[in-house]
C-alpha cells in the first residue's frame, strides 16, 4: 500500500474512533474520509445529537435552507405515525404491516445513509435473525416492532456464522430503544456489534435526518411522501414560478444589466401614484435586471407556450387578491411573500437559501411592476428610459 494510502487509512480510523467515542470530527477533510457505514454510526452517537440540535436551530432561524425545517417536521410526522400504527396493529395481532416495513426500512435507510440494503427474503426465504443485508458495506440488520433485550439477544444467537466480520444492527420500528444501548449482549458469531451505535429507533433516525443537507432531506421527504401518503396530504404539483426561480437562481446576477431597456411610462410617476416608499428603493435597485428577465422569459417560452404569461398572470392574481386588504409598500411585499410561498410549495422547487429566494422573487416582482402587471399605471404616453 502506498504511503499516501496508509496515511489516509490512519486518518480515517482516527476520525471514526473519535466519532464512536462521542467526540467531534471538526476537520472537514477528516469527516470525508468516513465511509457510508461509518456515517451510519455517527447518527446515533452523542455528537450527532448535539449537531442535529444545532442544525435544526439554524434552519429554524433561516440560516439553513428555506425548506429544511418543513422537510424535517414532515419526515418525523410520517415516521411517528407509522410507528404508532405498527404498535396498534401489533396489539391487535394484525401483522401484515410488519412485512411491508422490512422493504420500507431497507429503502429508507439506503436513502438516509447512502447504503445498499436488500431484503433477505429476496435472497433466502425466512432467513433467521436478519431481515436486511448490505454485502457492499458488510452489514446485516434486524427489523423489529419489539424492543427488548431478549429480542436483540435471540437475533444475535441465530446461526449467523457465515456473516462473521459483518456489522449487526437492530432497528426498532415502533418503540423507544434507548434503554437497550447500555446493555451488554453475547455475540457468539463474532459479528461487529456496538449497542450504543448499532441499535436504531425513531429518535436516532430523526437525528440522522436532521443533520442531512437540505437536498438530502428533500429526497427523504419525497420518499416518505410516496410510501406513506396521508388521506389529507396535498401532493404538490409543479409550477412555472418555481421553474423560473430555479433558472434565475442559476444566473450570475452580479453581471447586472446587459442592455438598456425602454419602459413605456414614467417609473417615478408610477411609484408616487401607488404610494411606494420602501419598495421604491427595491425597484430602483432591481430594475437593471429587466432586460435580462426579458431574455430569460423568451428562453423560458421556448419550452412551452404561455409559460411566461402564466407567471405574470400569477403576479397579477396575487395583486388583485391582496389589494383588497393592503396598499402601498405592504401590498408590494405581501405579493412577494405569496409568490415565495407558491414557489416553495411546488414539487419542482429546488431548495435554496432564504436570501437567494428573496432576491429572485424581488427581481421578478420589480419586473412585473415594470410590465404593469402589478400596481396602477400612470396616465401618460411619454417613454422613459429605465
Per-residue pLDDT of the chain in tens (386 residues, 90 and over written 9): 454 454 555 555 544 444 433 333 433 334 444 454 554 554 444 444 444 444 444 443 443 444 577 778 888 888 998 888 888 888 887 777 777 899 999 999 999 999 999 999 888 876 788 999 999 999 999 999 889 999 999 999 999 999 999 999 999 999 999 999 999 999 999 999 999 999 999 999 999 999 888 888 888 988 988 888 765 555 567 899 998 998 888 887 776 555 555 666 789 999 999 999 999 999 999 999 888 888 888 888 887 777 889 999 999 999 999 999 999 999 999 999 999 999 988 888 888 888 999 999 999 999 999 999 999 988 865 444 44
The kind and range of the H/E element at 167 are: strand 167-172
In this predicted structure, what is the pLDDT of residue 44? 44
Q: What is the CA radius of gyration of the chain?
A: 27
In this predicted structure, what is the pLDDT of residue 188? 94
Cell numbers standing for residue 35: 465511509
In this predicted structure, what is the pLDDT of residue 21? 37
In this predicted structure, what is the pLDDT of residue 127? 77
Contact between 206 and 177 under an 8 Å Cβ cutoff? The reply is no
In this predicted structure, what is the pLDDT of residue 5? 52
Cell numbers standing for residue 202: 425513531
In this predicted structure, what is the pLDDT of residue 358? 93
Cell numbers standing for residue 254: 452580479
Give the whole-angstrom CA distance, residue 358 versus residue 58: 18
Cα distances from 82 to residues 86, 143, 175, 223, 338, in angstroms, run 6, 14, 11, 14, 33
Give the whole-angstrom CA distance, residue 262 versus residue 345: 35
What angle separates helix 354-370 from helix 240-249, to the nearest 10 degrees?
Answer: 110
Domain ranges of the chain: 35-227, 240-385
Cα distances from 188 to residues 19, 129, 162, 165, 264, in angstroms, run 26, 13, 12, 12, 83
- The DSSP letter of residue 377 is P
Burial class, 283, CB count within 10 angstroms (exposed 0-12 / middle 13-18 / buried 19+):
buried
Give the whole-angstrom CA distance, residue 29 versus residue 199: 28
Alpha helices in the chain (DSSP H): 3-20, 28-32, 36-42, 46-60, 68-91, 96-113, 149-157, 195-198, 202-210, 214-227, 240-249, 267-273, 278-286, 290-301, 307-322, 328-344, 354-370
In this predicted structure, what is the pLDDT of residue 66? 44
Give the whole-angstrom CA distance, residue 213 versus residue 182: 30
- The DSSP letter of residue 159 is S
In this predicted structure, what is the pLDDT of residue 236? 65
In this predicted structure, what is the pLDDT of residue 94? 79
In this predicted structure, what is the pLDDT of residue 230? 67
Contact between 386 and 277 under an 8 Å Cβ cutoff? The reply is no
Which distant-in-sequence residues (6+ apart) come within 8 Å of 232 by Cβ? none
Amino acid at each position: 500500500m502506498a504511503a499516501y494510502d496508509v496515511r489516509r487509512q490512519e486518518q480515517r480510523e482516527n476520525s471514526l474512533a473519535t466519532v464512536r467515542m462521542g467526540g467531534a470530527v471538526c476537520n472537514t477533510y477528516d469527516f470525508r474520509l468516513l465511509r457510508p457505514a461509518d456515517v451510519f454510526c455517527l447518527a446515533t452517537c452523542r455528537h450527532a445529537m448535539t449537531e442535529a440540535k444545532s442544525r435544526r436551530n439554524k434552519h429554524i432561524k433561516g440560516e439553513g435552507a428555506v425548506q429544511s425545517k418543513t422537510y424535517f417536521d414532515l419526515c418525523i410526522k410520517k415516521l411517528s405515525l407509522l410507528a404508532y400504527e405498527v404498535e396498534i396493529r401489533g396489539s391487535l395481532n394484525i401483522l401484515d404491516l410488519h412485512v411491508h416495513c422490512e422493504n420500507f426500512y431497507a429503502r429508507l435507510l439506503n436513502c438516509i445513509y447512502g447504503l445498499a440494503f436488500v431484503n433477505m427474503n429476496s435472497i433466502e426465504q425466512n432467513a433467521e435473525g436478519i431481515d436486511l443485508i448490505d454485502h457492499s458495506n458488510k452489514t446485516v440488520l434486524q427489523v423489529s416492532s419489539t424492543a427488548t433485550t431478549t429480542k436483540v439477544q435471540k437475533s444475535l444467537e441465530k446461526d449467523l456464522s457465515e456473516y462473521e466480520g459483518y456489522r449487526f444492527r437492530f432497528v426498532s420500528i415502533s418503540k423507544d430503544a434507548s434503554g437497550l444501548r447500555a446493555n451488554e449482549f453475547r455475540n457468539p458469531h463474532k459479528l461487529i456489534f456496538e449497542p450504543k451505535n448499532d441499535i436504531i429507533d425513531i429518535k436516532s433516525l430523526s437525528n440522522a435526518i436532521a443533520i442531512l443537507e437540505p437536498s438530502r432531506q428533500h429526497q427523504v421527504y419525497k420518499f416518505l411522501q410516496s410510501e406513506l401518503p396521508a388521506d389529507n396530504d396535498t401532493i404538490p404539483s409543479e409550477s412555472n414560478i418555481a421553474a423560473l426561480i430555479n433558472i434565475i437562481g442559476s444566473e450570475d446576477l452580479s453581471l447586472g444589466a446587459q442592455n438598456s431597456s425602454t419602459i413605456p411610462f414614467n417609473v417615478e410617476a408610477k411609484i408616487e401614484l401607488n404610494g411606494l416608499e420602501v419598495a421604491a428603493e427595491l425597484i430602483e435597485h432591481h430594475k437593471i435586471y429587466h432586460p435580462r428577465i426579458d431574455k430569460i422569459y423568451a428562453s423560458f417560452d421556448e419550452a412551452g407556450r404561455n409559460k411566461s404569461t402564466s407567471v405574470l398572470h400569477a403576479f397579477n392574481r396575487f395583486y388583485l387578491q391582496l389589494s383588497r386588504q393592503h396598499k402601498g409598500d405592504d401590498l408590494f411585499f405581501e405579493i412577494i411573500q405569496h409568490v415565495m410561498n407558491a414557489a416553495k410549495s411546488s414539487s419542482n422547487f429546488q431548495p435554496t437559501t432564504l436570501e437567494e429566494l428573496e432576491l429572485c422573487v424581488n427581481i421578478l416582482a420589480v419586473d412585473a411592476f415594470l410590465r404593469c402587471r402589478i400596481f396602477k399605471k400612470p396616465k401618460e404616453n411619454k417613454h422613459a428610459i429605465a
